[in-house]
Amino acid sequence: MNRFLPADRDDRWFLYWPACIVVLIALYNVLPGGYAEYIVSVASLGTIFAIGAIGLNVQFGFTGLLNFGQVMFLMVGAYTTAVLVLDLNWNVFAAMPVGAVAAALLGLAVGSFSIRLRGDYLAIVTIAVAEMLRIIIRNSGGFRIDSATGESEPVGLGGVVGLRGAGGGFDSTLRDLLPFLDDRNWRLFAFNAFIVTVMLFVTWTIKRAPWGRSARAIREDEVIAQALGKPTYARKLQSFGLGAFIGAFAGVSLAVQANFVEPGTWVPLITFRLWIAIILGGAGTVFGPVLGALVLQLLFSGVRFLPRIVDTPLFEWIPESAVAANRLGALEGLLLGLLIVILVLVRPEGILGRRDEVVLERG
């Protein structure tokens, strides 16, 4: 079978990604009513996390940068888009790339002083900056009550209550652009899938380019790369900014589709979820982060069906209390931990990864 596939695994994303879409369409047509709609919504949310994972993969998988604050770029992209739409009446599709550019500029600013650090120290700095920024936004503004209408209005960035209306006509515009898709979930998936496709092509292109080869050289051994004349600082800074730009589209997409943005969404758990997606799919590969994000979202969403599975004769031996609604969150963590342990023991490089792609330092 492999002889019919491209020799380089990264070139196979041209086949893997359409195959995932074909599988989704097949499941939609096979599953009954509500389940069919649900699987599309799961895929739509999975593609959002896939975008964020692609950005983090540029930083870690390509260049070896331990960024534990990727969520701050999603947050900045989302808030910038919301402010442009709500306060300046920008078209939402014009505001989205500007939000990503703002995140990239933040990435360059944070990277300018943090990427000189290595390993754990870089991870500590990035997660600290991300939390500081989230707390600043949470305490920036609030809301006031309009005396005439009695309705609440956001002040500044909305503080803990957030900003409503961040979508700014996103749904109606998307409906006009995709009139052949009647279901909103399919339109959202099509939009996210388009962004994923563009970002896959971008990362595939840069990885094959001299820029990508020098970035991987830095990941393997920065001292040797510097001795060979590679601009290590510039490459790492570019990687940090590019990863922030790509990842920001995940936050932007989530904000405009939910039509709401608030600081409580952008917690460190989002970053760790992106890390798990990369580890699961394969760090340093082109399609690995997308596959990992989709599998992870399928796992999280599948846990919700455990109570119904227990009701079937095959699994009636499982006590219902074990899958009670208040324990589903714990079950998600349990299954996720089990999956990671199995993956580390059986295939530490991930589903699509190569073993040498997970090595940060040699010697």
Predicted pLDDT of residue 320: 67
- Each residue's pLDDT, cut to its tens digit, for the chain (363 residues) gives 455 455 567 778 889 999 999 999 999 999 887 888 889 999 999 999 999 999 999 999 999 999 999 999 999 999 999 999 988 889 999 999 999 999 999 999 999 999 888 888 999 999 999 999 999 998 886 665 665 665 656 666 777 778 888 887 898 889 999 999 988 999 999 999 999 999 999 999 999 999 999 999 998 888 899 888 888 999 999 999 999 999 999 999 999 988 889 999 999 999 999 999 999 999 999 999 999 999 999 988 877 776 666 666 656 666 766 666 667 777 777 877 888 888 878 888 888 887 665 554 444
Sketch the domain layout of the chain as residue ranges.
Answer: 2-265
Q: Which of 12, 114, 13, 18 is nearest to 69 (CA)?
A: 114
Predicted pLDDT of residue 153: 64
User: Which residue type, as a one-letter code, is found at position 255?
Assistant: A
Predicted pLDDT of residue 46: 96
Q: For residues 277 and 50, is the Cβ–Cβ distance under 8 A?
A: yes
What is the reported pTM?
Answer: 0.90
Predicted pLDDT of residue 363: 41
Q: Helix, strand, coil proportions of the chain in percent (round to 5)?
A: 75, 5, 25
Q: Helix 71-87 vs helix 268-281: angle between axes, to the nearest 10 degrees? A: 120
- Alpha-carbon span 31 to 88, nearest angstrom: 44
